[in-house]
Structures are given as C-alpha cells and as structure tokens.
C-alpha cells in the first residue's frame, strides 16, 4: 500500500475504519515523510537493530522502521487501532504489534531471545512524555538510545544546562542517564490533528556508566527535586523545606562549605557533578 505519510492515505484509512481520535491517549499522527526520515536518521536505525516503537498509531512511522530495522515491536495501548495496524502493516513480516501499556511492559522479557541492538523510537503523547522517558531510563532498559518526538519545550528542558530558565530536575535526571541531542524541530502542520505547540525530535544516547559517581542515587534525586520545587528559594531552604529529607540547616551549610559553594546559592546554579558531590557528603 502507499505510505501513510501521504496525508490523503491517512485520511482514507481513518475513514475506512471510522476511527475517532482519543483525547485521553493524546493522539497526533505524523503525516510528513521527511520528518520520519529525520527520526530514523537520528536514531541511526540499521538491519542489526531491534526497534521498540511506543505508540505506533496507525503505523505511519512503523512502515519506515520496518524497512530500516531488523525487527520492530510496536506497543500500542489503544485496542481500536489494532485492526488498522493489521491492515497498514500487512506487508511487513518483521513487525509485532503488542496491545499493552508501555509503563507496564517487561521490555527485557520481550526482547530476551532477540539478537541485535535495542533502540527505542516514538512519537510520544505529550501528556505522558516524562513518565515514559523516566521509566525507560530509571529501569535501565538495555537500549542503546531513545529517539523521541516530544513537545519542543520538553526537549529544551532535557538538554538545558545550569543557569538557564529551562534547567531543572528533568534536565539533571535525563543527563545523569543519557546524553541528549536535539535532532530536529517539527512544526504543528506535520501532524493530524494539529497540536497547539511545536515539537522536537530528541535522541538520548544511554551512558555505559553515569557521568558522575554517586553513592546514593535516590538521595541525589531527592536533593535535586527539593532544590527545584521552590525555584525562587535558596538551595539550602529548598532542602530544609523538603518532606523527603531530614537534614538540619547546619548540615546543609557545612556540606556546601566543604564544596566551596556559597550558602545562598540557588539550585539552578549547580551542575550535575555538584549535586552528586553534595549528595555524597550528606550521605
């Protein structure tokens, strides 16, 4: 069949199956082949790769992935899309569609018999972008990279560095697990229906080992959350006001002194390395 990246073909398929877009699943289908090619290039998909695609929709990007990859597992939560995917992917024998919630799927179990490099590729629903990405990173799934379409401002936050307005807990969490690279900006007219905001393709290349040494990962992330929960407050106040932490003001001031950091500094000025050092002293 003709590619779904042709908007006419997408419209015909939607009409044929009487498909109604589900707001609760945040469905925006890609209708631009150039953008899909950019995603596949950014993810560097080859025949040696196993691709995990999250939210294939009607299979627009899946068609391209099937042509480039060795094997594609397409995980779709909306069961109304299953008959459509059966139809649009019927000529590709290297695609397996799984009707499952990605947040509940055992990915290691799924791919354990496969030989090849796992790469995650997705056009993610905006409302659940962060839980999906953090779930993949925190669970240390054995993927080389995660290349996803997200809201433009979320991509900026993932890539941001200290001192910038986009820098926050998400920047630090993502950069602890992976190296972010924004591969392309994508305008709303590349989707059906059109979203109200611009999008971006970001590739997260997982580190073999984190770029900082930290004794207690959980403590470091509690400190990071505490320092960004109240952005206008000093780092020390943020930590002392956090229900997750129980350090005294003196302990925090002492730790900052040891690091040669001014006690009135705000969390947004600290690098990942400084948060790791602070966590190591306090633990």
Confidence of residue 233 (pLDDT cuts 50, 70, 90): confident
Q: Is the pLDDT of residue 221 over 80?
A: yes
Residue 38's pLDDT is what?
A: 97
**Intra-chain end-to-end CA distance of the chain, in Å:** 59
User: In Å, what is the CA distance from 131 to each residue of 137, 174, 215?
Assistant: 10, 12, 24
- Give 49's Cβ-side CA count (13 Å radius): 22
Residue 1's pLDDT is what?
A: 83
Q: Is the pLDDT of residue 154 over 90?
A: yes
Where are the extended beta strands (E) located within 55-198? 71-76, 95-99, 117-123, 143-151, 178-186, 191-192
| pLDDT tens for each residue of 106-139 | 999 999 999 999 999 999 988 899 999 999 999 9
Q: Is the pLDDT of residue 231 over 80?
A: no
The rounded mean pLDDT for the chain is 95
Q: What is the set of domains in the chain, with CATH numbers?
A: 7-206 (3.40.50.150), 217-282 (1.10.8.100)
Q: Is the pLDDT of residue 232 over 90?
A: no
Residue 220's pLDDT is what?
A: 97
**Rounded average pLDDT over 219-232:** 90
Q: Is the pLDDT of residue 24 over 90?
A: no
Residue 114's pLDDT is what?
A: 94
Residue 75's pLDDT is what?
A: 98
| pLDDT tens for each residue of 37-85 | 999 999 999 999 999 999 999 999 999 999 999 999 999 999 999 999 9
Q: Is the pLDDT of residue 25 over 90?
A: no
Residue 170's pLDDT is what?
A: 96
Residue 23's pLDDT is what?
A: 77
| pLDDT tens for each residue of 252-269 | 999 999 999 998 999 999
Residue 5's pLDDT is what?
A: 96
């Amino acid at each position: 069949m003709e590619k779904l990246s042709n908007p006419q073909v997408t419209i015909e398929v939607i009409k044929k199956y009487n498909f109604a877009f589900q707001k609760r699943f945040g469905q925006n289908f890609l209708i631009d082949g150039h953008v899909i090619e950019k995603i596949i290039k950014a993810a560097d998909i080859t025949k040696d790769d196993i691709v995990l695609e999250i939210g294939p929709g009607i299979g627009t990007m899946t068609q391209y992935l099937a042509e480039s990859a060795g094997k594609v597992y397409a995980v779709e939560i909306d069961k109304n899309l299953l008959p459509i995917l059966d139809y649009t992917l019927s000529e590709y024998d290297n695609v397996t569609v799984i009707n499952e919630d990605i947040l509940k799927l055992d990915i290691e179990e799924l791919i354990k018999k496969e030989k090849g490099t796992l790469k995650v590729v997705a056009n993610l629903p905006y409302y659940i972008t962060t839980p999906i990405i953090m779930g993949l990173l925190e669970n240390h799934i054995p993927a080389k990279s995660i290349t996803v379409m997200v809201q433009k401002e979320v991509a900026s936050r993932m890539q941001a560095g200290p001192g910038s307005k986009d820098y926050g807990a998400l920047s630090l969490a993502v950069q602890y697990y992976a190296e972010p690279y924004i591969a392309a900006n994508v305008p709303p007219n590349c989707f059906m229906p059109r979203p109200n905001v611009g999008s971006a393709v970001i590739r997260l290349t997982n580190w073999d080992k984190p770029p900082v040494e930290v004794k207690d990962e959980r403590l470091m992330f509690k400190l990071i959350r505490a320092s960004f929960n109240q952005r206008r407050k000093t780092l020390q106040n943020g930590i002392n006001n956090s229900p997750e932490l129980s350090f005294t003001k003196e302990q925090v001031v002492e730790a900052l002194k040891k690091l040669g950091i001014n006690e009135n500094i705000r969390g947004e000025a600290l690098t990942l390395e400084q948060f790791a050092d602070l966590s190591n002293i306090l633990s």
